[in-house]
Amino acid sequence: MDDERINAGVRASDVGLPGVAGRVADEQPELWAAFQALGATSARAGPLDDVSRRLVGLALAIGAGSEGATHSHVRRGLADGLSPEQLDHVAFLAVTTLGWPQAMRGLSWIRDITRANEA
C-alpha cells in the first residue's frame, strides 16, 4: 500500500471509480484532487500502518452501511495484498458492535468482491 497512490495526481480513471462517482470525478478534476489530497493527509495524520488504515476504512464503510464504499475498500485491500480472510474478519468483528444482521450484510458485500475474484 503506497500513500503516493492517494495523492492529488491520481486521476479518477486510474482507480476505476464505478458509475456516477467516476464520471463526476472526471468532470470535476479539482474536486477529485482535493478529495485525494484529503485522503493522503488523513493517512499521514496518525501512527496507524497501511494495513490497519485499510481495515479501519473497511470497518467504517460497513458501519456506515455503504455497499459502494465497502466494495471499494475490499477491491483496494485485495490489490494491496490483503487476504479474503483478513477482510472477512472485519465483518466478524462488527457482530458485537453493529449486530448480527448488519455484520452479515457487510460480510456479503465483502464476499461480493472476494468470491467474484475466485471465479
Position 85 scores a pLDDT of: 98
Torsion sign over Cα 18, 90, 101, 116: positive
Residue-averaged pLDDT of the chain: 88
How far apart CA 59 and CA 93 sit, in angstroms, is 9
Residue 60 CB neighbour total at 10 angstroms: 14
Q: Would the pLDDT of 67 be above 50?
A: yes
In CATH, the number for domain 48-119 is 1.20.1290.10
Query: Is residue 6 scored above 90 in pLDDT?
Result: no
Angle of helix 84-98 relative to helix 67-79, nearest 10 degrees? 150
Give the model's confidence band at 115: pLDDT under 50 very low, under 70 low, under 90 confident, else very high.
very high
For 20-52, write each residue's pLDDT tens digit: 888 898 899 999 999 989 999 999 999 999 999
Give span(s): CATH 1.20.1290.10, the chain: 48-119
